[in-house]
Structure 1
Amino acid sequence: MRAEAGERIVIRGMTVETPDRHGEIVEVRGENGAPPYLVRFDDGHETLVYPGADATVEHPQ
């Protein structure tokens, strides 16, 4: 997975009851766009994310 600051990340809910989480990548801490990413989620929460198979990065068109 590769990303740049300012791109959006979506982490899919693992169960039907768990909603997807959407956020903005604030900082890329890995080399050449690799994880981990500092993410500010839409609810205002910021955390360091090591995305798994349930995550996708939305690259601008």
Structure 2
Amino acid sequence: MGVHVGDWIVVEPVHLGAHRRRGEVVRLAHPDGSPPYYVRWEGEDKETLFFPGSEAHLENPQEHGALHY
């Protein structure tokens, strides 16, 4: 599955005290949409290079649903 600019990445907490993170994919590292992705996280004014793990899933705004990696 390829990710597109504008998709939303959601990272669910995996341990007590962690919080859910949500960010928008703003750039792709590879033209086929494979990881890693450049993500701008909600509440932060910066982009990070993100390598998704099993705790992450994709929300596509056009589909209004979540797709797991």
User: TM-score, normalized by length of structure 1?
Assistant: 0.87
Is 1:47 the counterpart of 2:40 in the alignment? no
- Please tell me the residue identity of whatever aligns with 2:43: D
Distance 1:20 1:55 in 2: 10
Give the aligned length: 61
Point out 4+ residue stretches in structure 1 off by more than 6 angstroms: none
Higher helix share: 1
SS in 1 for 2:2: coil
**In 1, distance between residues paired with 2:28 and 2:51?**
11
Task: List alignment gaps of at least 5 residues for structure 1.
Answer: none
Q: What is the Cα-based RMSD across aligned positions, in Å?
A: 1.3
- Give the TM-score of the pair, scaled to structure 2: 0.78
Q: Please identify, of 27-36 and 17-26, the stretch whose mean Cα deviation from structure 2 is larger.
A: 27-36
